[in-house]
Structure 1
Amino acid sequence: MGFFRDISPIRAVGDLKTYWFDQQDHKWRFLLASLAATTTIFAAFFSESGFEVQWKRPEITWVTSFEPGRSDSEIAAENVANQERKEKLEAERLAREEERKAQYRRLAEQFGMDTE
């Protein structure tokens, strides 16, 4: 607890006053330059923040891609067509993937690597 006995706010203010008011004028210039730099940085952050003061309700644009008067049979036919298209695309993707794997296997064989 000897450390805290030696600390005094009054002595700290006196030390600060002695430090700043001695005969070195460059300290004031550096203080002003550092304050100007800090103020400039904070002003740039504040001006670039772009926050809006007042909240605005977002505009919603509803996009409808189906006719409202479709029958159940039309919906079912469209679902079947979409499912067929999805399965076709998935089969094409799997074929491309298998071809790529085959290419890598051929490349590995050319370099004498074990692929299993």
Structure 2
Amino acid sequence: MRFKSRFDAKAGFADLWDYIREPRPYRWPFLALSLAIPLTGLAMLTKESHFRPPDAPKVTYISTFAEGRTDEEIRQSNIANQQRKEAREAELAELEARRIEAYKALGRATGLDVEAMEREAAIERAREEAEAEARRRELYPAGTAVDDSGE
């Protein structure tokens, strides 16, 4: 069976023309509406929009270091920064120790067995550290470099 014999466009247009010519009420408004809906959709879809690409950002580099520093100046700066870091860590450790002592005093004042709680906490910390060490050994087999600084 041939394609042309099955689908005859001429007969289809003739049927459409006969249907349109029949005297029906509101045929022209319905025809206009039925054409307006798809044409409006096509008009909305075929609108072209050209967006201008954004301007490249203007980067301003701020350097707190002097230009052309020598290796010795860099080394001295690193030493000073390390000393400040160690002083800050020591201060935080002292504050932590004071906080722990304050909680122990509060616990003694309220009648809690602070020493037993401290032993339990030490056992818990040791268990957590052992688990962390086991995890580290599992993830990083012997011979691989690992940063143990905790950062």
What TM-score does the superposition give when structure 1 sets the normalisation length? 0.50
| SS of structure 1 residue aligned to 2:103 | helix
Q: Match for residue 36 of structure 1?
A: none
Alignment root-mean-square deviation, CA: 2.0
TM superposition shift of 1:68: 1.4
1:69 aligns with 2:68: yes
**Structure number with larger C-alpha Rg:** 2
The total of aligned residue pairs comes to 65
Instruction: Give the Cα–Cα distance (whole angstroms) in 2 for the partners of residues 107 and 59 of structure 1.
Output: 57
Unaligned 5+ runs, structure 1? 1-52
1:84 aligns with 2:83: yes
Instruction: Give the Cα–Cα distance (whole angstroms) in 2 for the partners of residues 98 and 59 of structure 1.
Output: 48
Over 3 Å counting, the alpha-carbon distance change for 1:104 and 1:54 in structure 2 is: same
Q: Identify which of structures 1 and 2 has the higher relative contact order when contacts are C-alpha pairs closer than 8 Å and 6+ apart.
A: 1
Over 3 Å counting, the alpha-carbon distance change for 1:110 and 1:57 in structure 2 is: same
Instruction: Give the Cα–Cα distance (whole angstroms) in 2 for the partners of residues 58 and 114 of structure 1.
Output: 62
Q: Match for residue 54 of structure 2?
A: 55
Runs of 4+ in 1 over 6 A off after TM superposition: none
| SS of structure 2 residue aligned to 1:113 | coil
Over 3 Å counting, the alpha-carbon distance change for 1:113 and 1:68 in structure 2 is: same
**Paired-residue identity, %:** 38
Over 3 Å counting, the alpha-carbon distance change for 1:57 and 1:103 in structure 2 is: same
| SS of structure 2 residue aligned to 1:100 | helix
1:22-33 alignment, distance < 5 Å: none
TM superposition shift of 1:69: 1.2
Deviations 1:78-105 (A, max 9, x none): 1111101100010001100110110011
1:1-116 alignment, distance < 5 Å: 55-115=54-114, 116=117
TM superposition shift of 1:58: 3.0
